[in-house]
Chain A
């Protein structure tokens, strides 16, 4: 059975994806601050569509919840999801940093 892509490409794609996490979190916080429901929904939809494909299923689950929260305009839920997403993204970045720093 063939792998989906070669390991080097996959690693490069994942690294580039993880590098976008700080921008994503900032964008999410800004949209929440402005109560920009349309872009919050779009953000959630995109995260739902990409997370698991890059090997991060938790991001897909959170993306789906963010999309739902934006549709129902549930500010409190979105605030919690924003914190949860930040924790997950930071953990992923930390984990990858540890692996790359390992001797």
Chain B
């Protein structure tokens, strides 16, 4: 499934200097839809298909928000989150978890790891766009300076 050229999937060099959203999601169909939704709303997105690659990008990039899937084959979203929190370069990153699984038994774990929002899949694209816009506003309001 390939509906976007690479230049749109990974932000161009000019966009790379802007603060972006990092999307870590192994399912290509969900990844494409989230990319399309956020790109349409004007948010630059860098998407990664695995937890390992997502961590690498998080460590070298400057991101405003991370959208992180929980169920991934190489590293679970929680493994990624723990690694993000353990690294001073990424410990501060606001993280939103995405999952088709019920979060009922994970509420404490999410709170402990500083998850700012849980978005259940399947999501409505319009709601996702609005939710992310709202979160970015909140993050901007809370950031110093």
Contacts and interface: CB of A to CB of B under 8 A. Distances in A.
Interface of A: 1-6, 9-10, 12-13, 16-17, 19-20, 42, 45-46, 48-54, 60
B29 A50 contact: yes
B1 A17 contact: yes
B52 interface: no
B36 interface: yes
Contact of B27 (A4, A49, A52, A60): A49
Interface of B: 1-3, 27, 29-30, 32-33, 36-37, 40-41, 71, 99-101, 121-126, 128-129
Contacts of B27: 46, 49-50
Nearest to A4: B125
Closest 10 A-B residue pairs measured CB to CB?
Answer: A4-B125, A49-B100, A49-B121, A52-B122, A4-B126, A53-B122, A5-B40, A16-B1, A50-B29, A5-B36
B1 A60 contact: no
Contacts, number: 70
Contact of B41 (A2, A16, A60): A2
Contacts of B40: 4-6, 9
Contact of B29 (A3, A12, A54, A60): A54
A49 B122 contact: yes
Nearest to A67: B100
A60 B36 contact: no
Q: Which of B2, B32, B41 neighbours the largest number of chain A CB atoms within 10 Å of its CB? A: B32
Contacts of B125: 4-5, 53
Nearest to A57: B122
A42 B41 CA distance: 31
Nearest to A11: B3
Given A4-B129, A13-B33, A46-B29, 7 more contacts: A4-B40, A10-B36, A16-B32, A42-B71, A49-B27, A51-B122, A53-B123
25 contacts: A1-B126, A2-B129, A4-B124, A4-B125, A4-B126, A4-B128, A4-B129, A5-B37, A9-B3, A12-B3, A13-B3, A13-B33, A13-B36, A16-B32, A17-B29, A45-B100, A46-B27, A46-B100, A48-B121, A49-B30, A50-B29, A50-B121, A53-B33, A53-B125, A54-B29
